[in-house]
Structures are given as structure tokens and as C-alpha cells.
Amino acid sequence: MVDEIDEYTIDDDFEKPKRAKAPFIKYLREDRLPHIFCPGCGNGTIINTFFKGMEEANIDFENVAMVSGIGCSSRIPGYIKCDSLHTTHGRALSFATGLKVSNPDLDVVVFTGDGDCASIGGNHLIHAARRNINLTVICINNNIYGMTGGQISPTSPKGSYGSTAPYGNRDKPFHLAELVAAAGATYVARWTTVQVESAAKSIEKGLKNKGFSFIEIVSQCPTYFGRKNKMKTPVKMMDHIKNSTIYINNTKLMSEHELADKIVVGEFVDKSAPEFTDNLQELSKENYGDKTLRRSAFLKNFDENKE
Amino acid sequence: MVEKLFIQGNEACALGAIKAGCRFFAGYPITPSTEVAENLARLLPKYGGSFVQMEDEISSMGAVIGASWGGSKAMTATSGPGISLMQENLGYAFMTETPLVIVNVQRGSPSTGQPTMASQSDMMQVRWGSHGDYEPIALSPSSVQEYFDFTIKAFNLSEKYRVPVFLMTEESIGHMREKISIPKSVDLVARKEPTMSPDEFLPFKNRKNATNPMPAFGDGYKVHVSGLTHNEIGYPDTNNPKTHAVLVKRLCNKILKNREKITSVKSEFTDDADVVVVCYGAPVRSVTTAVKEAREEGIKAGYLKINTPWPFPDDDVKAVCESAKDIIVPEMNLGQMVHEVERVFAGDAEVHLLSKIGGELPKPSEVLNAIKSVGGN
């Protein structure tokens, strides 16, 4: 028998192990954490990659505005401490077009996904690229609809499984980088969550490019794509991505058949062409004598003589 | 000095938009509204504004919302089929309290219907077309002058209440040419900027029946704007029943509790009227003639013209028509606003629909016959 039990006391001097702070946490809305992304999701890697590219491009974060549609990738701007429009499914690029035209001085970044920009938003994607409007689009392509529970998307590989393709996907997938390049974008690259350094470099170049920049990042969705396609762990998914990757310069002599299961990475377009809001500014200078009027909603009087 | 012009309705709308400070237009060609876009494509670059022809009406509405958050007074113009496509992003504009103006030059419908003929068939579409509970503002001009005046009014209401405002006209007014006066200066409502620091500012604050200030993107307020149910900061809070109820009720109440300030009607000969014609838009033109003719024949008839179909001016309609035994509602559809009139009277007066579809306005003689047939004899 024990007469007396020592009281359990908390040692005040005990130092909690310090968690290393992420270098880019200063750009995040910490009051919104924890985020909703699944363990192993590529979104975190891509957020870090974006900020690395942004800093390398010397972009003033105070000048960044983000626009997104609907889906897992489109939730990213909600965690970033900047002005952000979280819009309707597929329509992010149309909102971004209005925002950029209204205030061309903003650095407008669009986060989107394969379902958002290539399926429901396909028309807006090709037209934004055709206009060569100065937007930087980060398209996180995870080949699946994650937010709604694992349905196949327009980029799901042939034969892959999804909740709406229980017998395997029989459709041919879209190749987004090639599609946007054909539509007229002036900077187009595709990388994966495995090649973060290259992806950051492309984001840097995309932000610097005065025109429509499209950076597709093939990412892993272990929760839905992986689980339904015998790659349950993030590591297995990333291994698969890594092993499927082929650099664009090495594809020249390969047939379509040989490339069917490959992820072609690299820069697809890097050129210059007249930009949409620049053209509008020129038009304004010719007809109005100045650049376009900013913040018209806040004005009470308009200079009537200035026609 | 007042400028006198003889112009088309849709052109008057474009001039009104410039006068109201609209400096952004995004749209897609559609009959019978296209002249609004064409005129603004010509005018906007002269006034430091931007015109963008988008790939469809869905993106037109998206671009207008984006431009509004960029700090521009923004509008689009379309007709029934285009409104159908805009409904998705219109719901987003209501949810995020984005000021903008949508011109709807109504044509015969459903579907592609009669592109070059007039109708009033979208009155309920703009009231209920997007999913969910919300309260729109809609203005209905009945002359080219009113089309100009109401365009300015639409922008002012939109900025004051941070809400999309519909300008509901018909092909007939859109394409009609009339003499109008353009005043030298007009009263404009500027968007209210926040005065507090970004740390203190709540862009979606639960203020009772009042509208929150709205910063532009790039002003340093770092607003998160989401169509998801959001809290006062703007952060999604979708599984909280209270957040949703508070938000949606506030969005509706800021319009409904200010109904008297928003609504406007005009009436004549209603003091002793047995029959009152309750009308809006183009048919008003026939009604005024018909009512005068009825009076000349000794029939106690009057009319009430509704300038603001939404929010419906319940009290004004009820007050003006108090003595009436019969109410006639002429509409260029198979009966839409008549349901609102019936709701207001709830059996206190006999409400008759005078419906005409096919693209022609009801004639004064048809309205006069209706007045006579309901007991004016």
C-alpha cells in the first residue's frame, strides 16, 4: 500500500520542441490554418514553389491579387494574405480578365485545376490565351476531381479508375500545356511536384512574362487518384509521376504511341507578342489622351471636357 | 446646358452609362441589345474606359464582377438567352455584394424565341433565375429619356446598396428613336471606401439594413471574396447554420428594409378611380392614352406606373389602388408581375391580366376595351 501519491506537476521549465516555421508562412492567412488539403496532397508543395518563384521574380507581394474557380486547387488563394476572388466553377479566367483590365497594375495570378480550367472552363482558357492577357495561371493537374470525391477529369489517363469510371476511363485525355500553347499563350511550361526547382523557375518566368503565362504542374492526389489506381501513398504516386516524366527535348523522335503514358515536361512556349491590356492602354492614349481611368467607382465627378 | 438629341434607346443607355461613370463594359453580341455594346465600344476609349468583347455571356458577367472589384463601375447588356447564361455568376455577385449593372433588352422567348421582337418575359427570370434567396433591384423605363435616366439611377442604386441592378427594357424601347435631354451634370453615388485600417475592417460585417464599404483590389485591404457562405471577414464558414442564416438574411434585408427608399412609382387619376391599370415598361405608353380616353368617356380610370418592378413596391401599389375595385395588369408575357399585384391585394380588389405576346405592344384600344369590360361601363 502506498500512503501518499505524489501529485503530478507540470514542469514549467519544460521547453516545447520548436516547430520549424515555413519560410513563406508570412504570406499566408495564419488565422485560416489548418487547411483543408489531405495529407500527401501536392498543393502545399506548389504553394511553396509559387512563393519561391515569386521572390525570384522580384514581384512585390503587396501587388499580387489572386483569382480562382472551384476545386481543391482553387482553395489556395483563400489561404494567402492578398486580395482574392474565389469565384464560380471554371470561370476564374473571366473574372481575372475583368480585374486585370480594370487595374492593369496588379499582378493577377490564377490558381486552377484540370477540372476547373480544362472541362467547365475550357472556353475561357483558350480565349484568355488567345488574347495574351497578362495573367499568370498555375494549373494544378491531378487528373481527378478531388473536391467532389474522385471522378475522372478531362486529363485522367486512358484506363485510369475514378468513381465515375469504375471500369476504367475510356476517354482520351487533354494535354493542357499543348492546348494552351496552340491557343496563343506566350509562356507555357509543364512540370510536376517532383521537379519543384524547375517549376519555381517557370513560375518566375511566367510572372515576369508580359502576357498569358500557363504553368501546368502535374500533382498527386493520393486520396482519390492514388487510392483508386493502386498508388495509395503519396510516395508511390510521386514515384509514378517521376518515372513517367520525360523532358520535352527528348521526345522529338518518339511516336504518339510511345508518349501515351508519359508526362512531357519542360517549356513549351517562351515568346513575346502584343499584350491585351497594353493594347487597351494604347487605344486609351489615342482616344482619351491618357492611360485608362482607374477606380472610376470611387469618383463623384468625371472630367467632361476630356473626351 | 442641356443637350437635346434624337437617338435610339440603346444609344441613350450607352450615353447614360458614360454619364454615370461606367468605365468598363464586357459583353457578347445578342439581338436586340447589341447597340448598347456597339455604342460603348465606340465611347469608352474616349473617356478612359475599357470595352471587352468576351467569349460568351458567362464570362461577360465574370469580367464585370472582376472589374467591379478592381474599382471600376462596370456593366453588361444582353437579352433573355444571355441572362440565362449570366445567372450563375449573377448569384456570385449577389452573394459577394458586387455592384454592377445588367441591361436586359427583352425579346420574345422561351429559348431563342423572337430575337427582333419585344416582350417582358424575363421579369421573373431576373427575380428568381439564380439559385438561392436574394433580392435584386430592377428598373423599367417606358421611354428613351427614361432609359437614359434609369441607367444613371441603376448605377447609383448599385453602388449605394452593393448589389447587381437590372435595367429591364424591351426591344421596342431599345430600338425606338425619341428626342431626349442630356443634362450637363447628374448626381452620382460614389462607392463608399472603408475608413478604418485593414486590420479592423470587416468587408462583410453584419450591419443591420446597411451596406458595407467596399475597397478595390490593390488598396491594401486584402479581402478574400468567396461565393461560399462566408463570415464577416469573408472566410468560408460553410457548415455553420448560423453564419449562413445571418449572411443570407442580411443580403435580403439590406434591400427589403430599404424598400421605400429604392422603389418609385408614378400615378395619375387614381384618387377616385374604380379601375386602375398597374403597368411597367413599354405598355405604359398605351396605358396613358387609354386611361385619358376612358376619362373623356366618363369612366373613373387611373393608372399606376411601376418604375422599379424589383423590389416590388407593395405599399405604393396598395396605397394608390385603395379605392379601386378592379385592377388591370397589361404585360407582354403570359402573366408574371400580375402575381405580385395579386399578392398585394390578396382578394381586396379584382386583378385582371391583360396579356399580349408575339412581339407587339398592347394597343391603347385594347387597354381601353379592357377598362370598359371590367365594369367601367
pTM of the model: 0.96
CA gap B331, B318 in Å, rounded:
19
Sign of CA dihedral A252, A256, A258, A263: positive
Mean pLDDT in chain A?
A: 94
Same domain, B155 and B273: no
Same domain, B166 and B291: no
Same domain, B24 and B162: yes
B364: left (phi over 0), alpha (psi -120 to 50) or beta: alpha
pLDDT lower than 70: segments of chain B: 1, 375-377
CATH number of the domain to which B293 belongs: 3.40.50.920
pLDDT at A2: 55
Please report, for chain A, the start and end positions of each structural domain, with discontinuous segments joined by +.
21-273, 274-307
Beta partners for A247? A265
Q: Which of A243, A239, A141, A254 is nearest to A199 (CA)?
A: A141
Note the pLDDT tens digit of each residue in B31-55.
999 999 999 999 999 999 999 999 9
What's at A109, amino acid-wise? V
Last residue of a domain, one of B124, B148, B183: B183
- Which of A76, A102, A110, A302 would you mutate first to test chain B, the one with the most B CBs within 10 A? A102
pLDDT lower than 50: segments of chain A: 305, 307
Query: Cβ contact (<8 Å) for A292 and B49?
Result: yes
CB-based contact (8 Å) between A290 and chain B?
yes
Same domain, B18 and B151: yes
Note the pLDDT tens digit of each residue in A238-288.
999 999 999 999 999 999 999 989 999 999 999 999 999 999 999 999 999
Q: List chain B residues with CB under 8 Å of A87.
A: 62, 65, 89, 92, 227
Q: How far is A87 from chain B (nearest CA, A)?
A: 6
- Which of A29, A30, A95, A120 would you mutate first to test chain B, the one with the most B CBs within 10 A? A95
Q: Is B257 part of a structural domain of the chain?
A: no
Same domain, B173 and B299: no
Pick the CATH number of A21-273 from 3.40.50.970, 3.40.50.2000, 1.10.275.30, 3.40.50.200: 3.40.50.970
pLDDT at A1: 53
CATH number of the domain to which B172 belongs: 3.40.50.970
Note the pLDDT tens digit of each residue in B279-299.
999 999 999 999 999 999 999
Cβ-proximal residues to A150 (8 Å cutoff; 6+ apart), any chain:
A144, A162, A163, A223, A224, A225, A227, A228
Beta partners for B224? A84
Q: List chain A residues with CB under 8 Å of B69.
A: 83, 85, 99, 102
Q: Which domain holds residue B52?
A: 2-183
CA gap A96, A110 in Å, rounded:
7
Note the pLDDT tens digit of each residue in B331-370.
999 999 999 999 999 888 999 999 999 999 999 999 999 9
Q: Which of A43, A48, A59 is nearest to A26 (CA)?
A: A48
Q: List chain B residues with CB under 8 Å of A65.
A: 217-218
pLDDT at A307: 47
Query: Cβ contact (<8 Å) for B223 and A307?
Result: no
CA gap A189, A213 in Å, rounded:
8
Residue written as grid cell 449593372? B101
Query: Cβ contact (<8 Å) for B56 and A307?
Result: no
Query: Cβ contact (<8 Å) for A295 and B45?
Result: no
Kindly state the cell numbers that stand for B178. Answer: 425619341
Last residue of a domain, one of B183, B207, B222: B183
A130 three-class SS: helix
Q: List chain B residues with CB under 8 Å of A287.
A: 45-46
Note the pLDDT tens digit of each residue in B208-231.
888 999 999 999 999 999 999 999
* Cβ within 8 Å of B, A 18-77: 29, 32, 62-63, 65, 67, 77
Q: List chain B residues with CB under 8 Å of A86.
A: 224-228, 236
Query: Cβ contact (<8 Å) for B190 and A85?
Result: no
DSSP string, A137-202: EEEEE-SEETTTTSEE-TTPPTT--BTTBTT---SPPP-HHHHHHHHT-SEEEEEETT-HHHHHHH
Asked if residue B306 lies in contact with residue B317, where contact means CB atoms within 8 angstroms, the answer is yes
Q: Is B294 part of a structural domain of the chain?
A: yes
Q: Is B200 part of a structural domain of the chain?
A: no
Sign of CA dihedral B34, B38, B43, B49: positive
How many Cα atoms occupy the beta-carbon half-sphere of B329 within 13 Å? Answer: 24
Same domain, B176 and B271: no
Same domain, B143 and B28: yes
- The domain total for chain B is 2
Closest by Cβ to B159, choosing from A88, A294, A297:
A297
What's at A300, amino acid-wise? K
